[in-house]
Amino acid sequence: DIQMTQSPPSLSASLGETVSIECRASEDIYSNLAWYQQKSGKSPQLLIYYASSLQDGVPSRFSGSGSGTQYSLKISGMQPEDEGVYYCLQGSKYPLTFGSGTKLEIK
């Protein structure tokens, strides 16, 4: 299985601050990476797919980058509604695997 190592486990940011979350795959996943946001008690919501494509309706302050084994999600200007847990997902090989999550809070 491809292991997805996500960091940091938690993050606290001020309003307007830029934050970054990283995911490292145990092997090359050829940009087959997606990012999800999950709010408390809700199902995950797709933010980014194919490493850098923004899902329809997602604010442009969210962006993704990376290639090979290293990927990152950036939020340019933290907003209150961005609080939640963020997960990466690799779709290069079955079984699909998720990162361990990053809990993002407002400072």
Query: Where does this chain bind other proteins (CB under 8 A)?
Result: 1, 32, 34, 42-46, 49-50, 55, 87, 89, 91, 94-101
CA distance 80 to 55: 20
CA distance 3 to 23: 10
CA distance 26 to 68: 10
| Runs of H (alpha helix) within 1-107 | none
The least CB distance from residue 94 to other proteins, in Å, is 6
Q: Which is nearer to other proteins, 45 or 63 (CB)?
A: 45
Q: Which is nearer to other proteins, 68 or 77 (CB)?
A: 68
Q: Which is nearer to other proteins, 41 or 80 (CB)?
A: 41
Determine phi and psi for 80, rounding to 5 degrees: -55, -35
CA distance 93 to 107: 37
Q: Which is nearer to other proteins, 49 or 62 (CB)?
A: 49
CB 96 within 8 A of CB 4: no
The least CB distance from residue 32 to other proteins, in Å, is 6
The least CB distance from residue 83 to other proteins, in Å, is 16
The least CB distance from residue 16 to other proteins, in Å, is 29
